[in-house]
Every structure is written in C-alpha cells, then in structure tokens.
A and B are shown apart, each in its own frame.
Chain A
C-alpha cells in the first residue's frame, strides 16, 4: 500500500515532506519502500539535529537517526526521487527553529512584540530563535561546509533547495527571519556603525534601514548556502506555513480551534499570490475532511499552480505590481474576485511569459521589466499597462517603441484616456489609472476584458464556496476542443450551497468527477451544482473557441 500524502504521521506530515528525525532509523526502510516512486519527496534538513557541539557535526556516528548516508542508500535502493530542503530562516517544523542548541541564544520577537513560536502536529511548541545572533551564522556556515564534504562520500545526486519560511497573520505575510529582539537590535547597531551612520533621528529612515538590514541578512544566508553548496545548490523558494502565526498558535490551543473555513481562506489567499504552502504543522483533526481533500487534490507540491500529471492551474490574468493594493483603488481586484475568482495571480518580481493576460502597474516597471513586457507583446501576448506614475523616461521609450515598430495606435476615451494597438496576435492597451471612475469600475474592466478577448465560463457562487480551475491539453479523442478545463468546487461550510455555471456558447460540459455530497444538473448552456455541507465536485468542460 502506498503512503497517504496527508495522514497523522510525523514522518510524512504533508506535501511529500519526509522528516527523517521523526522516527527511528530502524524504521526508515519500511517507510521508504512504501513510497510512491513516481512522486518526488522532499527531505528537510534539520541541521541543528546533527550538532555534536560547536563545529562538530554527526551523520550517524553517535546517533543512528543522523545517518544520512544510510538514508540516501535506502532512497537509491528503492528508486525514490528526492530533493533536500535546507532552511534559510527559522523553520517552525523543527525544534528551536532548526538551529543547534548551542546557537539558540535569543528568542525571535515578532511584529507584535510576541516571541515567535508555533505548535506542530504533535502539539509541541517550537520556539524560533533569532538568526541575528552571530553564533547562528557561524554554525550555519560550519554545517554547510561539513554537509557538503559529507555528501561527497555518499551516492547522493539530489539537489539542495534553500527555503525561506513565513506565516500570515491578519492578511500580512511575515518571514520567520523577522525579528526585533535584542540580537536584532545589536546586529542593527553594528550595521549602522559599519555604514558610518552615527545619528538616526528620523523614524522613517530608521524603519527603512531596518528593513534593508533584514533583507541584507536574509540575502547573506542565501548567498552563503549557494556558495558553500556550489553545484549541489538547487535554488531557493519561499514557503508559507499554515497555522504558524502567533495568533494561530493561540487559536489552535483554544477549545474551539481554528476553523476549516479559516484554513480555506488562508490557503486560497496564498494561491492568489502563487505562494508555496506547507500544511505540515496541522494536526490530523485540523486537516481531516474537505481541507485534506483540497490539499491532496491540488497542493501535493505545496503550490496548486504547478503542473501535476497533465493538469496545471488555469490562470487567465497575471497581475504585476510591487503591492497588490496598487490595483485595489481601481477596483480591479474586486472585479476579478467577483467575475474571475481564483483565476488570477499577483506577482511582484519575476516576469512570467505565459499566455495569460498581463496587467502591469507602472510601479512594477523598471527598465528591465519594461523591456520584458514590450517583448512579450511583440511575441503575441496580451498586455494591459497602467501608465499612471510611469517614469517619464520609460514613457518616452514607449513612444519610440510605437514609432520603431510602426504600430497603428487607436486612442480610446472610455472613463479614462487609453491607447490600443495590435501586432499579429499581440494586443497592447495602455490606460491612465488616475482617470478611472472608481464608482463604475465594473463597466470599465468588463469592456477592457472584452477588447482583450478574455472569455470564460460565467460562474455564480457565494463567498464561502471555494473553486480551483485547471487546464490540460486535449487527448486524441478530444480534438474538437482547444483545451479541457476542470473546475473543482468545495463547500467547507455547514450550509447547503448552490453554484451556477454558464457555458456561453464557448464551452461544452463533458463530465462530472468524483461528486461527494454534491450533484450537478446540466441544462442548455447552464450547469446547476448543489453542494451539501463539506461537499465537493469536479466538472470538465471542453473549450471550443479561441480565447483571443
């Protein structure tokens, strides 16, 4: 029997993480031979666990559970694909946040002044210790050198992915690196001294410098790991833990606990920001039911946008801005949330050259991103740019771009000033967000998306019903379609809920999959779905008209 992905199992607590230190080394083999070899597992390195004293690291000589050579042998023997995860910040899954006892000097203090600590799935309280303590960096560096040398003696071929961990509280994302303890303040004092800043009287400047210091220290841990691990380095990624914030620790300790719907809201918020999540701290009774279903069906790797088998997350809109709030004043987020719920995602950094409609805020556009965005249009993609606040130099370059490519511009006056142009399949619309009528944004965005050729099934569902859309290429017996889209609905409430889908002459209902406490009835161009409490259902649609 293959291992369940999520179970009341400290060794495999979720998202295919394998926590070797959570069981006896004698039981590793029996666990590994039951793993699904088609799926890659991730092995977090609990580096503090390998400490035998300052600069002394053990890989099985003193304790069998530290014998990573044996673990690698078993993984190779049973042909299990794996990768290592190495914490670049305190990790709430590990005691002391993962650092050795000898370096655990000062408890981290979070944004609200409270020590950062998280309850794990076995109800242990893991306290985070400050990464700003000089001993932590020294131990971190020492471990990396030792670990690299150790791996050379093994059959290991797997990469090591650095992970930065975070939590959300009241919608705010905070890194577990964050700290305002005495260790941070002392480090910040040294930072000021090194930068020859003697007096700091402006609170705004102090805040800016503290954020800069925090980022520099975070980057230092990344660069050190990258340099030390060299060819073994597999890049870095960010992971948000569910249930890990100080508020959630209190909530999870109360008799009422944190509700399933609360986790759904958090999970889907992370989804919108394309963040990787980890449910590994949650107890089985917290996960059981629909939350476990949605995690198993969509978040096997932690990120539901990732391609899993043939299906990948369906994203109709990519929103680029340093802060999502930049779009709030224009009603874009509100409009997408009501008309295209969970069919868009926010980006603040890397530009992704996907087929989705890209909506770009001027604050995102530095020279590099500006070039990427225009190149994307030239390659036949659809781009909408808010030019309000655009750097005058870039605005000038935009004019040159129009002229150089001999583009025919169509000025449009609809609520605000806009310019529309086309080149092959590419569509570029530049508007001035400042002139938007905030009371009538629905009409504006509806028109924009019509012009840009966005079509999708119209879905009516209440706020507390959650849905995830995926797409896949057609199989040989589905050649009439351009692609196949699957929507899964989840009702975590205790009430019956109804959903209505309109196919709008562009989609054909194909089948329903795995209804649990749910039914779907198909009428001409309309599908009615009824979801009982804790109900779920998936529906497949063939898409038979080009979107653009």
Chain B
C-alpha cells in the first residue's frame, strides 16, 4: 500500500471556542507499515512557510502537496495519495467490508509523484511507524 494522507479543509475551533480561518489539516498519514509518527511529520512541516507544524495545518492545497512530497521523500516512497475527508467519506459510504474499505486507499483521491525518491538508504524506517 502506498503512502496515504487524509486531509480536511475546514476552520478550526480551539478549546476556548475561537475559530481560525479554514486551512488544510492532515488528519491521518500512513503506509502499509503503519501510521507515521506525528513528531516526524511536524518536523517536516517546519519546512513549509506559513504552516502550523503543531496542528499540521496548511494555508493552501499547494502547500499541503509540497508537504506530502516531503513526507514521501523522507519515507522513501515514490508517490503519495492525498484523500480529502469528503472523498474518504464517499468511500466509507460504499464500503461493506475490509476489502472494499482497503479499496478506498487504492482508488480515491489524487496521487502525486515524488521527485528523486529511493535515494536514501532502505531499511531504517520501521522506527518511524507505529
């Protein structure tokens, strides 16, 4: 299974109930080996100007895509699949078992290809997954 990133475009409300303008928030990021550690993702988000690394939110879709490519490069993946929450929900609506649920990660969203993938050494990445 490819690297997959599920995101939500929405405004956010903090614990005090204050709203911030709508942004692209990473909800889940995972590959076949498991979920990627949030700390590693937050570190990568630092490279995107105007991103909020703690919340993993991005101002534009382009920023989110740039972030997704950084993640793909870091985790030595050739491509990354971006799925919006809306698309994911359509997938859930049509799924009835684990097999059709898995198909969401193979057929929905947009696939973007990383430049210069596979340059890094393989075999050191298991520690980034949980």
Q: Mark A244-261, 1 if CB is under 8 A from B, else 0.
A: 000101111111100100
Minimal beta-carbon separation of B49 from chain A (angstroms): 25
Q: B29-49: which have CB < 8 Å to A? A: 30, 32-35
Q: Which of chain B's residues have a CB closer than 8 A to the CB of A125? A: 92, 95-98, 100-101
Answer yes or no: B111 CB below 8 A from chain A CBs: no
| C-alpha gap A113/B99 in the complex (Å) | 22
Q: List the A residue with the shortest CB-CB distance to B102.
A: A253
* A202 touching B17, Cβ below 8 Å: yes
Minimal beta-carbon separation of A97 from chain B (angstroms): 13
Q: Which of chain B's residues have a CB closer than 8 A to the CB of A113? A: 8, 10, 27, 85, 89
Minimal beta-carbon separation of B85 from chain A (angstroms): 4
Answer yes or no: A206 CB below 8 A from chain B CBs: yes
Q: Mark A197-228, 1 if CB is under 8 A from B, else 0.
A: 00000111111100000000000000000000
Q: Which of chain B's residues have a CB closer than 8 A to the CB of A203? A: 13, 17-19
Q: B84-130: which have CB < 8 Å to A? A: 85, 88-89, 92-93, 95-102, 129-130
Take A114-B92, A124-B96, A249-B101 as given contacts and tell me if A254 and B10 are in contact as well, using a CB distance cutoff of 8 Å: no
| Range, interface on chain A | 20 to 34
* B34 touching A256, Cβ below 8 Å: yes
Take A125-B100, A203-B13, A249-B101 as given contacts and tell me if A115 and B93 are in contact as well, using a CB distance cutoff of 8 Å: yes
**Most chain A CB atoms below 10 A, which of B8, B10, B35:** B35
Minimal beta-carbon separation of B12 from chain A (angstroms): 10
Q: Which of chain B's residues have a CB closer than 8 A to the CB of A253? A: 98, 101-102
Q: Mark B1-37, 1 if CB is under 8 A from A, else 0.
A: 1000010101001001111000000011010111100
| C-alpha gap A114/B101 in the complex (Å) | 14
Q: List the B residue with the shortest CB-CB distance to A283.
A: B98
Answer yes or no: A538 CB below 8 A from chain B CBs: no
Q: Which of chain A's residues have a CB closer than 8 A to the CB of B32? A: 254-256
Minimal beta-carbon separation of B56 from chain A (angstroms): 12
Answer yes or no: A505 CB below 8 A from chain B CBs: no
* A256 touching B129, Cβ below 8 Å: yes
Q: Which of chain A's residues have a CB closer than 8 A to the CB of B13? A: 203, 207
| C-alpha gap A249/B89 in the complex (Å) | 13
Answer yes or no: A107 CB below 8 A from chain B CBs: yes
Q: How many residues of B are in contact with the other chain, CB < 8 A? A: 31
Main secondary structure of the interface of A (DSSP, over half): mixed
Q: List the B residue with the shortest CB-CB distance to A247.
A: B28
Answer yes or no: A486 CB below 8 A from chain B CBs: no
* A204 touching B88, Cβ below 8 Å: no
* B30 touching A254, Cβ below 8 Å: yes
| C-alpha gap A20/B95 in the complex (Å) | 25
Q: Which of chain B's residues have a CB closer than 8 A to the CB of A259? A: 130
Answer yes or no: A127 CB below 8 A from chain B CBs: yes
Q: A160-206: which have CB < 8 Å to B? A: 202-206
* A256 touching B33, Cβ below 8 Å: yes
Q: Which of chain A's residues have a CB closer than 8 A to the CB of B30? A: 250-251, 254
Q: A102-161: which have CB < 8 Å to B? A: 107, 109, 112-115, 117, 119, 123-125, 127
**Most chain B CB atoms below 10 A, which of A208, A247, A255, A256:** A256
| C-alpha gap A158/B98 in the complex (Å) | 36
**Candidates B1, B17, B130; contact of A208 at CB < 8 Å:** B17
| C-alpha gap A35/B17 in the complex (Å) | 52
Q: Which of chain A's residues have a CB closer than 8 A to the CB of B85? A: 112-114
* A204 touching B96, Cβ below 8 Å: no
Minimal beta-carbon separation of B3 from chain A (angstroms): 12
* B89 touching A115, Cβ below 8 Å: yes
| C-alpha gap A113/B96 in the complex (Å) | 20
| C-alpha gap A254/B36 in the complex (Å) | 13
Q: Which of chain A's residues have a CB closer than 8 A to the CB of B28? A: 247, 250
| C-alpha gap A262/B89 in the complex (Å) | 26
* A127 touching B35, Cβ below 8 Å: no
Minimal beta-carbon separation of B28 from chain A (angstroms): 6
Q: Which of chain A's residues have a CB closer than 8 A to the CB of B97? A: 123-125
Q: Mark B51-63, 1 if CB is under 8 A from A, else 0.
A: 0000000000000
| C-alpha gap A246/B8 in the complex (Å) | 14
* A251 touching B17, Cβ below 8 Å: no
Q: Which of chain A's residues have a CB closer than 8 A to the CB of B10? A: 113
Q: List the A residue with the shortest CB-CB distance to B13.
A: A203
Q: List 12 additional A-B contacts (Cβ < 8 Å) besides A125-B96, A204-B18.
A: A107-B89, A107-B92, A113-B10, A114-B6, A125-B101, A127-B92, A202-B17, A203-B19, A207-B13, A253-B102, A255-B33, A256-B129
Task: Pick 18 A–B contacts, CB within 8 A, sort by A.
Answer: A107-B89, A113-B10, A113-B85, A114-B6, A114-B92, A123-B97, A124-B96, A124-B98, A125-B100, A125-B101, A203-B17, A247-B35, A250-B28, A250-B30, A251-B30, A254-B33, A255-B33, A256-B32
Binding site for B on A (CB under 8 A): 107, 109, 112-115, 117, 119, 123-125, 127, 202-208, 247, 249-256, 259, 262
Ordered nearest first, which 5 A-B pairs have the shortest CB separation? A204-B17, A123-B98, A203-B17, A115-B92, A113-B85
